[in-house]
Amino acid sequence: MKHKEIIAVYPGSFDPPTNGHIDIIGRAAKLFPKVIVAITHNYNKKHMFTLEERLSMMKEAVSKMKNVKVASFSGLLVDYLNKIDSFCIVRGLRALSDFEYEFQMALMNRKLKKDVETVFLMPEQEYTFLSSSMVREIASLGGNFKNFVPNNVYKKIKDKRKN
């Protein structure tokens, strides 16, 4: 299948976006002419932020990356890839513990859409322990999470914690 331009899709719930996510997006933006950060509602998670809030935070956090767009989708990722004429998924691997789950997802996506390719990127070492759920937990317990998220996200979490 020929594609005019490779569109890499970095899917996730990004609740909230972390510096690790931004690091992976930056790495993908160096490799691909266009990157779409595709935010979805994960029905298996209790979200801190609405989909609209996550879209807004992510758009602000990646605003300086000219070849990165932020969008939302629902349903199967492969259906979204078909809709935007893409075949490339970007996923971050923080540690070996991520690999088994991500490997299974990559194979399932390939089974659902034969030409799908998943590219795994490793974040900067300082982000290998970082996850959105850890940030949510630290924030809920009143801990210092300022260095784990972009400034705009930090402010949004602090505002949400006040309410």
Residue 88 to residue 119: CA distance in whole angstroms: 7
Q: Which of 54, 94, 136, 156 is catalytic?
A: 94
- Verify whether residue 47 is a known catalytic residue: no
CA distance 43 to 63: 28
Q: Do residues 43 and 28 touch, judged by C-beta distance below 8 A?
A: no
Cα 97–Cα 99–Cα 100 angle in degrees, nearest 5: 90
- Spatial separation of the C-alpha atoms in residues 13 and 55, rounded to whole Å: 10
Catalytic-residue membership of 21: yes
The active-site residue out of 21, 27, 34, 54 is: 21
Distance CA 44, CA 6 (A): 30
Active site residue 91: no
Question: Of 3, 30, 45, 146, which one is the catalytic site residue?
Answer: 45
| Residue of 13, 27, 86, 132 marked active site | 132
The catalytic residue positions are: 21, 45, 94, 132
